[in-house]
Amino acid sequence: MRLLRPLLLFGCLLALALGLGFVGFLHVAAAAPEAPGRRTDGIAVLTGGAERVATGLRLLREDQGQWMLISGVHRDTMLEDLATGPELGPLAQRVELGRAATTTRGNAAEVAEWARAYKLRSIRVVTAGYHMPRAMLELRRALPGVELLAWPVVPPRLRQAGALGEVRTWSLLVGEYAKLLLAWSGLPALLDPLPNGPNPGTA
C-alpha cells in the first residue's frame, strides 16, 4: 500500500500533465496565421496536402517571400503536378522541389540545407495546423539562428461541419500529439539518424 499511493499519485499527475499539454497543443494547432505583410527570405512548404502548396504559391505571388521550397516531394512528381494556372509560369523559377524528405525530421534537414544554400535568415513555414508544433520543433533544432514564422493551413476535412464530432478527427489529433511528445523526447533522432544528410547543427 505504501508503494501503491505514490504510484497512483504519479499516474494522476502524469495524466494531468498530458491532458494540459494536449489542451495547449490544440490551442497552437488551431492558431490562425499572422497578419500578412511581413516578408520573409523564404517560404517552406511541407507536403502532405494540396492546399499547402496552393497556399505557399499564393504567399509567393503576394511577395511574402523571395524563394520557396516544397519539401518531401515524390521523385516522379513535377511542379506542374502540384499546381496549375497561368500564374505558375513566373513563379516557377523561384520554386525548388525537395525530394529527399520522407519524415518531418527529413523535412527539417532538407529545409536547413536549402536555407544554407540560399543564405536565408527568415522562413515562413506552411503546413497543416496540427502538424505545425512538431514541424517547428524539428525546424528550430535544424535551423538555430533562423527566424521561423508559422503559417498553418486547416485541411479541408477538418473544416467540414461536424468534423470535431468524428472519431477519426480525434484519432488524428491524439496521434499527432503523441508524435510531438516523441519528437520532443529526442527519441526519433536515435531511431532515425541522418548519416548522409545535412548536419542540422552547422550553419
Predicted confidence band of residue 126 (pLDDT cuts 50, 70, 90): very high
**Span 52-70, pLDDT tens digits:** 998 999 999 999 999 999 9
- CATH of the domain spanning 33-154+165-191: 3.40.50.620
**Span 180-196, pLDDT tens digits:** 998 888 776 655 566 44
Domain segments of the chain as ranges: 33-154+165-191
Q: Which long-range contacts (CB under 8 A, 24 or more apart) does 26-30 make?
A: 26/173, 28/129, 28/132, 28/133, 29/129, 29/130, 29/132, 29/133, 29/152, 29/173, 29/176, 30/129
Region label for 43, one of left (φ > 0), alpha (ψ between -120 and 50) or beta (otherwise): beta
Burial label, 177 (beta-carbon count in 10 A; 0-12, 13-18, 19+): buried
For the segment 29-50, the average pLDDT, to the nearest whole number, is: 80
Chain CA centroid to CA 100, Å: 16
Pairing verdict, β 40-46 and 65-71 = parallel
Global pTM reads 0.80
Q: What pLDDT does residue 171 have?
A: 86
Q: What pLDDT does residue 155 have?
A: 76
Q: What pLDDT does residue 79 have?
A: 85
- According to DSSP H, which parts of the chain are helical? 4-29, 50-61, 79-82, 88-92, 104-118, 132-142, 156-159, 167-185, 187-191
